[in-house]
């Protein structure tokens, strides 16, 4: 078979930290997927390449771009299940399920992410304190592995590989089809309520009582040590009164393309934060918001990422015990005073689940912050790595492309378990990426 479905391409991690020239293959038939896999020594699967760290490419590794496999294969309304190909994007998926008042509530925050990519990173959505990660909605998976062939994976069939695959960063093979258990959704409108808070510590106290409300996250000003953490908690509740007909989403094709020169700096961030806080104080405490605005907060606000320019940024996402937040924040502010990094975003939400293998999941608070990349942020992040060890914090390897191997080994208690089981399943270790090589997975 002639392999004219391949091209040489420059691929970049979403945080712009790693760039590589890569050979990308775009199979459109299962037979071609098998042929390309058999012809190449090292392979990695690629969805929409929207991972902050280089999970879906690597030097001298062929990328299997799966975007052409995006069909809906089966839908059973009575059993509330749907089977789709893994290259389908979230927006394509929702345009079908929402028509029938169904969805899965663990959707990561950008509509062109693929479901294959979401499963391989065990993604979570805004309601992760209630609904946990996408793992909770998966019924079964069809996997193709170059050596082990076609495999059905579920709690009942090949359970060990099923568990390794969810959050397994594409290292167990190609996720071809997925069957999801669907959840009812009454409406595609949300009511958003706002609560002002003075600090991250106050936010932690407030959200610890939010057990029954499904969707919430906070935004904090973190541009200055004075009033550090002043901000707002946003709570989104599905509007069960003003029910609207779902008309379908149009994919607007907004551009995620960095500006030639960065716009973000200490001054521009300070001004934007002040304006954001001021506008939120002026607007009503409660308003109705669309599904896209609530579930995909950066959709139509791509400028936030583009403003970092080609130099990129660093995102850190940390899972930390509720009881350790105050001590952690006190040390965080001390090192902030010393290194003076420029933090462009700071947010908190709660998460539920059980940590295992490489999965970013636990019954903890999830703290996220973005930084302009420079020497001061690098020095600051080296100190955050040490705080991760001190406070038994789990840093996300999906978001932070910088995490050193020694920090990963010490914070991911089940990483060796993952390595051993993966090596037993695939002695030749076919599926590899820049991240898997660096972390020796
Ligand atoms: C703006 C933005 C917001 C985000 N919000 C969230 C959020 O709220 N919650 C969250 O958890 N994450 C979030 N993310 C991260 C995102 O969910 C993950 O990085 C996701 O993996 C990206 O999907 P992708 O289709 O781009 O996959 P890629 O980046 O192409 O690949 C990601 C991983 O999945 C593997 N993979 C992809 N397809 C397959 C397949 N068919 N078979 C096997 N492995 C496969 C790849 O090998 C790689 O390891 C966000 C990312 C962005 C850019």
Residue 396 lies in a domain: yes
378-413 pLDDT, tens digit per residue, is 999 999 999 999 999 999 999 999 999 999 999 999
Same domain, 281 and 334: yes
Considering the domain architecture, whether residues 310 and 337 belong to the same structural domain is answered as: yes
Distance of alpha carbon 96 from the chain centroid: 22
For the cut 60, the answer to whether the pLDDT of residue 2 exceeds it is: no
**Looking at the structure, do residues 162 and 215 belong to the same domain, yes or no?**
no
131: domain range? 75-144+152-185
Atom of ligand 1 at shortest range from CA of 175: 42
Ligand 1, atom 5, lies closest to the CA of 109
As for how many domains the chain has, the answer is 2
- Asked whether residue 293 falls in the same domain as residue 374, the answer is yes
210 and 180 belong to one structural domain = no
Return the DSSP state at 250: -
For residue 76, the tally of other CB atoms under 10 A from its CB is 11
Spatial distance between the Cα atoms of 301 and 254, rounded to a whole number of angstroms: 9
Mutate which of 33, 113, 370 for ligand 1? The one with the most ligand atoms within 8 Å of its CB, which is: 113
1 confidence band (pLDDT: 50, 70, 90): very low
pLDDT at residue number 211: 67
Cα 53 to ligand 1 centroid, rounded to whole Å: 10
The protein residue whose alpha carbon is closest to atom 14 in ligand 1 is 108
Considering the domain architecture, whether residues 137 and 201 belong to the same structural domain is answered as: no
309 domain residue, yes or no:
yes
**In the structure, which protein residues have their CB atom closer than 6 angstroms to any atom of ligand 1?**
14, 44-51, 55-56, 66, 86, 108-110, 113-114, 116-118, 120-121, 123-125, 169-170, 174-175, 298, 398, 433
Residue 6's pLDDT is 86
Instruction: Provide the CATH number for the domain around residue 166.
Output: 3.30.465.10
- Same domain? For 291 and 376 the reply is yes
- Cβ-contact 94, 79 below 8 angstroms: no
As a whole number, mean pLDDT of residues 373-378 equals 96
Confirm whether 422 is domain-assigned.
Answer: no
247 in the same domain as 101? no
């Amino acid at each position: 078979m002639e392999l004219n479905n391949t091209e040489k391409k420059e691929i970049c991690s979403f945080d712009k930290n790693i760039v590589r020239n890569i050979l990308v293959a775009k199979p459109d038939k299962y037979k071609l997927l098998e042929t390309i896999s058999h012809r190449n020594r090292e392979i990695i699967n690629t969805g929409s390449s929207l991972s902050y760290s280089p999970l879906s490419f690597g030097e001298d590794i062929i990328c299997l771009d799966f975007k052409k496999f995006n069909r809906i294969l089966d839908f059973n309304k009575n059993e509330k299940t749907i089977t789709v190909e893994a290259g389908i994007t979230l927006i394509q998926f929702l345009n079908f399920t929402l028509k029938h008042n169904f969805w899965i509530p663990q959707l990561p925050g950008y509509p062109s992410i693929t479901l294959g990519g979401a499963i391989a990173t065990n993604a979570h959505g805004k309601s992760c304190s209630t609904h946990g990660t996408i793992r909770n909605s998966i019924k079964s998976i069809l996997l193709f592995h170059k050596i082990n062939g076609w495999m059905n994976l579920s709690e009942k069939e090949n359970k060990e590989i099923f568990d390794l695959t969810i959050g397994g960063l594409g290292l167990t093979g190609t996720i071809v089809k997925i069957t999801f258990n669907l959840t009812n959704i009454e409406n595609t409108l949300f009511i958003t309520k706002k609560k002002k808070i003075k600090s991250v510590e106050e936010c932690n106290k407030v959200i610890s009582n939010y057990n029954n409300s499904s969707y919430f996250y906070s935004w904090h000003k973190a541009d200055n040590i004075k009033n550090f953490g002043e901000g707002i908690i946003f709570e989104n509740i599905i509007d069960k009164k003003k029910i609207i007909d779902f008309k379908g989403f149009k994919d607007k094709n907004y551009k995620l393309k960095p500006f030639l020169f960065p716009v973000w700096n200490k001054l521009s961030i300070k001004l934007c934060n002040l304006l954001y806080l001021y506008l939120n104080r002026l607007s009503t405490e409660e308003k109705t918001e669309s599904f896209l605005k609530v579930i995909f907060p950066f959709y139509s606000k791509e400028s936030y990422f583009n403003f970092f320019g080609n130099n990129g940024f660093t995102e850190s996402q940390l899972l930390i015990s509720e009881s350790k937040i105050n001590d952690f924040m006190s040390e965080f502010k001390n090192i902030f005073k010393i290194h003076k990094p420029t933090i462009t975003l700071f947010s908190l939400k709660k998460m539920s689940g059980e940590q295992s293998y490489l999965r970013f999941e636990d019954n903890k608070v999830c703290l996220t912050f973005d930084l302009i990349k420079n020497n001061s942020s690098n020095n600051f992040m080296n100190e955050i790595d040490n705080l991760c060890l001190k406070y038994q914090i789990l840093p996300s390897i999906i978001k932070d492309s910088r995490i050193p191997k020694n920090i990963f080994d010490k914070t991911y208690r089940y990483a060796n378990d993952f390595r051993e089981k993966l090596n037993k399943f695939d002695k030749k270790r076919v599926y590899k990426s820049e991240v898997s090589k660096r972390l020796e997975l």
